[in-house]
Amino acid sequence: MVTFGDSTKSDNVSSNKKIAKNALFLYFRMFLTMGVGLYTSRIVLQTLGVEDYGIYGLVGGIVTMFSFLNSAMSSATQRYLSFDIGKGDSIKLQQTFNATLNIHILIAGIIFILAETIGLWFVNYQLNIPTDRLNAANWVYQFSILTFVLGVLQVPYNALLIAREHMNVYAYISILEAILKLIIVLILVKFGQDKLILYAVLTFTVSFIIRMLYKIYCKKNFKESVYKFYYDKAFYKELLSYSGWSLFGNIAAIARSQGSNILLNLFFGPVANAAYSLTVMVQGIIGSFVGNFQTALNPQITKNYAKGEVDTALNLIFKSSKYSFFAMFILIVPFLYNVDYVMYLWLGEVPPYAIEFIKLALIYSLIETISNPLMIGAQATGRIKWYQIIIGSFIFLTLPITWGLLKIKLDPNIGYYVLIGNSIIALIFRIIFLKNMIALKILDFFKKVLLPIIFVTLISGIIILSFEFKFNTSPFMQLLINCIIISIIVLFIILIIGMDKLERKYLVDILKNKLFKM
């Protein structure tokens, strides 16, 4: 039986405190990177121009298309490291780390070869890039390859950092990363004949510095990260088998995201790619509010499953799905209500398509917040063959369906409508799979998670759309007042309709304790 707010015998107070502490560090990191990201993206867009900004996002995305190999192994690395820590097996943990590092070295080599052959041909002969910017696009592409290869080699270290739940390290290193990104903007504005090439070089340099810092930290603090060659045929087979099925799902996910970017380029040119890049950034910023909470929670789901505490793992999945949706909903509703003015404040001149892209992308993100904890639950079991085949097939269908509809009607928003529809179907199938994989009770999930989400969404939408929040003041003050009023309305509806008595009592008790300490 999944419970909310009350204490159960399997609840671990220290684990809850660790989750809260790690979430706090991750939120500090998020606010810092969000502020810098918003500022720097505006300056970069103004300095590069819409076309070059779109080319940067597009060409970098071609390299990302080859990440299906890395993404598949990344999920396996995260799962097995967390599982070993949950089991308390330090010897197996070191063997797992070294095995995953060996595999990632091989993956980096394969991606480099694919990117320098198939990818290079695609950039030069298939994409819709102006002839006078093709040389710059190739420079961007080469530095994107180097940045990506570094990222592949760094995966086991970052996965270990998350599995060990040292989230404060992200916050500290992010301070340096934010400073370096600000320096990039200053250099970009002041120097460089071809600013697109300069931006690619500087971005690679920052990426190299940050990734090396994470690696150095792991080697100094986690003895299992000291490299020792390890080869066990059976274990390598197990790792590759797990990641092999993940590979199918990751190919589908990459096809969905980067394939959509390429379709936009082929049908609408680099200007649409600029809008897409900005949309991905907005998704990332708002999604990070929830992502930080889930990142802090995910290792606990896997560790509890590894210890045989399935009820606790299910409880965390339910909590993560429901509270993640509500947290993002509180942010998205006032943003969507004022999206035109917010985008004007942020960018000054907003690229074509950007507003509609962002609206639809955020609706998609809301659905995915419910799905993400279910994915972690499935991965924790290790039995992901049919899960990946079925879910991956629905995700992959996004691309051909979008292509076919664009042939019929030249509307750049079509891809997002397809994305939203497929996301809903995938969510339904994830719930069904978790019933068999981890004994999730569908009726419980519907009553405890989906029903409150549906009621909160409908009632909030009806109330907010029924009123015009207009005041005789400046546009900026109007924005602030609107956001405050709408956030209060949504929060009130969540408390009254989205939470039951036990959850409200639990929340009130937490607030009382915090106020008492203050």
In this model, does residue 281 exceed pLDDT 50?
yes
Q: What is the mean pLDDT of residues 73-93?
A: 77
The pLDDT of residue 10 is: 45
DSSP 118: I
Instruction: Using alpha carbons, select from 181, 182, 180, 199 the residue that is nearest to residue 47.
Output: 199
Q: What is the mean pLDDT of residues 453-478?
A: 84
Q: Is 466 exposed, middle or buried (0-12, 13-18, 19+ CB in 10 A)?
A: exposed
Q: Which two tokens stand for residue 354?
A: 């950007």
The pLDDT of residue 7 is: 43
- 22: Cα separation from own chain's centroid: 17
Q: Which two tokens stand for residue 211?
A: 């990734």
The pLDDT of residue 512 is: 62
Task: Give the whole-angstrom CA distance, residue 449 versus residue 318.
Answer: 7
The pLDDT of residue 431 is: 92
Task: Give the whole-angstrom CA distance, residue 272 versus residue 128.
Answer: 11
Q: Which two tokens stand for residue 276?
A: 């897409």
In this model, does residue 220 exceed pLDDT 80?
yes
Q: What is the pLDDT of residues 203-212, one digit of tens each?
A: 889 888 988 8
Task: Give the whole-angstrom CA distance, residue 54 versus residue 51.
Answer: 5
* CA distances from residue 422 to 110, 191, 282, 378, 401 in whole angstroms, order as listed: 31, 45, 21, 19, 10
Q: What is the mean pLDDT of residues 273-296?
A: 77
Collect all residues with Cβ–Cβ distance below 8 Å to 293 and sequence separation of at least 6. 23, 26, 320, 323, 324, 327
**Helices 68-87 & 134-163, crossing angle to 10 degrees?**
10
Question: Phi/psi zone of residue 21: left (φ > 0), alpha (ψ -120 to 50 degrees), beta?
Answer: alpha
The pLDDT of residue 142 is: 92
The pLDDT of residue 303 is: 80
Task: Give the whole-angstrom CA distance, residue 289 versus residue 23.
Answer: 10
The pLDDT of residue 6 is: 47
Residue type at position 138: N
Task: Give the whole-angstrom CA distance, residue 388 versus residue 427.
Answer: 13
The pLDDT of residue 2 is: 44
Collect all residues with Cβ–Cβ distance below 8 Å to 422 and sequence separation of at least 6. 394, 395, 397, 398, 401
The pLDDT of residue 9 is: 45
The confidence band for 89, taking pLDDT boundaries of 50, 70 and 90, is confident
8 A C-beta contact, residue 29 and residue 291: no
Collect all residues with Cβ–Cβ distance below 8 Å to 44 and sequence separation of at least 6. 53, 185, 188, 199
330: three-class secondary structure by DSSP: helix
Q: Looking at 439-474, list the stretches that DSSP marks H as alpha helix, in order from N- to C-terminal side.
A: 442-445, 451-465
- 498: Cα separation from own chain's centroid: 25
Instruction: Using alpha carbons, select from 246, 236, 383, 302 the residue that is nearest to residue 82.
Output: 302
Instruction: Using alpha carbons, select from 142, 174, 159 the residue that is nearest to residue 35.
Output: 174
Q: What is the mean pLDDT of residues 396-419?
A: 88
The pLDDT of residue 452 is: 93
Q: What is the pTM of this model?
A: 0.69
Domain coordinates of the chain in residue numbers?
13-517
User: What is the number of H-type helices and E-type strands within the chain?
Assistant: 20, 0
Q: What is the mean pLDDT of residues 168-182?
A: 78
Q: What is the pLDDT of residues 160-170, one digit of tens each?
A: 877 777 767 76
Instruction: Using alpha carbons, select from 346, 306, 337 the residue that is nearest to residue 438.
Output: 306
Q: What are phi and psi of 230, to 5 degrees?
A: -135, 130
Q: What is the pLDDT of residues 231-272, one digit of tens each?
A: 778 888 777 776 666 666 667 777 777 788 888 888 888 888
The pLDDT of residue 214 is: 84
The pLDDT of residue 493 is: 92
